Amino acid sequence: MTAAEMPTYKDLLWPTLEVLKENGGSASIKELSEQVTRLLALPDEVSDRLHGEGPQTEVGYRLAWARTNLKWAGAVDNTARGVWRITPKGRAMRSDKALRDLVRRERKRRSRERDKPERAERSKESEPSLAGDWREGLLAILRGLTPDAFERLCQRILRESGFTKVEVTGRSGDGGIDGAGVLRVNLISFHVRFQCKRYAGSVGPGEIRDFRGAMVGRADKGLFLTTGRFTRAADREAVRDGAPAIDLIDGLALCELLRKLELGVSTELVTRPQPEFFAEL
């Protein structure tokens, strides 16, 4: 695989384990994505390519499949908070080939299990869906909002997250600033300017520079929310040395934030017996 080629999920198995080892055995999805991309030296034109219409990138989509296959093989596991960790079985892997062989055997085993009529339905339910999930439906709703409604939603998100004096400005000629608020952390207050945009595609570094130029001298922090995603160049621009840092919230992070705050998203708990528990008695 050359640097200009899109890696397959198989190409991402070993790098994922390497990154987990380098991070002390665990890492968030964002850390895994950023560090695997650096490890493979993927150029921006590859790492920024969208999966379908986005907001997830193709690399991010394939990394999700890599993590899923590693979990099926028992090499990694994860918490409900989106943190992944390497298991003793994963640490015992000594080569890319050995890892691929392990994953291939597990995929064959699961395929045989799915072919059994009495287990087909259960297997279908237990395997994760990486496309067409609740986030895609939610993003479609968000992108269908009017600009005013989306600004009000972002205002509500900030209030629910602990901001005070949250105002939506949205004034023409305000340099792209859509609102302002104050975040108090212990004894210190930070004045924040935010921008919220309903994008289906990617936000580049130009938008970040324009937003920073509008907020400099008027706020301590900047916050950019979008239903799309940020390119790698935008990520770098947001934390560029010598310039005020801007926090970025892309479409997927926005969905998770709405779920956490229970704003327009409900989570239904399903009760199922766990036969494996009783088998261990």
Sorting pLDDT into bands at 50, 70 and 90, what band is 12? very high
Mean pLDDT of 217-238: 93
What pLDDT sits at residue 217? 85
How far is it, in rounded angstroms, from Cα 257 to Cα 134? 13
- How much is the pTM? 0.70
What are the DSSP calls for the chain, one per residue?
A: --TTSPPPTGGGHHHHHHHHHHTTTEEEHHHHHHHHHHHTT--HHHHT-BSTTSSSBHHHHHHHHHHHHHHHTTSEEE-TTSEEEE-HHHHT---HHHHHHHHHHHHHHHHHHHHSHHHHHHHHHHSPP-SS-HHHHHHHHHHTS-HHHHHHHHHHHHHHTTEEEEEE---TTSTT--EEEEEEETTEEEEEEEEEE--SSEE-HHHHHHHHHHHTTT-SEEEEEESSEE-HHHHHHHT-TTS--EEEE-HHHHHHHHHHHTSS----------HHHHHT-
Residue 220 main-chain phi, psi, to 5 deg: -85, -30
Crossing angle (nearest 10°) for helices 117-126 and 96-115? 130
Distances, alpha carbon 260 to alpha carbons 59, 80, 256, in Å: 26, 12, 6
pLDDT at residue 105 greater than cutoff 90? yes
Instruction: Identify which has the larger pLDDT, 186 or 61.
Output: 61
Note the pLDDT tens digit of each residue in 196-217.
998 888 999 999 999 999 988 8
Of 7-21, 191-205, 258-272, the poorest mean pLDDT is in 258-272
Query: In sequence order, what are the residues at sequence separation of 6 or more whose Cβ sits closer than 8 angstroms to the Cβ of residue 167?
Result: 155, 179, 180, 181
According to CATH, the topology of domain 139-261 is Trna Endonuclease; Chain: A, domain 1 (3.40.1350)
Predicted pLDDT at 130: 41
pLDDT confidence bin for 277, thresholds 50/70/90? low
pLDDT band at 235 (very low <50, low <70, confident <90, very high): very high
Unique residue bearing structure tokens 């050359």: 2
Q: What is the pLDDT of residue 170?
A: 65
Grade residue 185 by pLDDT with cuts at 50, 70 and 90: confident
Q: Quick one: pLDDT at residue 128? A: 47
- pLDDT grade for 275, boundaries at 50, 70 and 90: confident
| Residue ranges per structural domain of the chain | 10-126, 139-261
Q: Does domain 10-126 have CATH number 1.10.3470?
A: no
pLDDT at 190 over 60: yes
Q: Report the pLDDT value the prediction gives residue 281, as an integer from 0 to 100.
A: 55
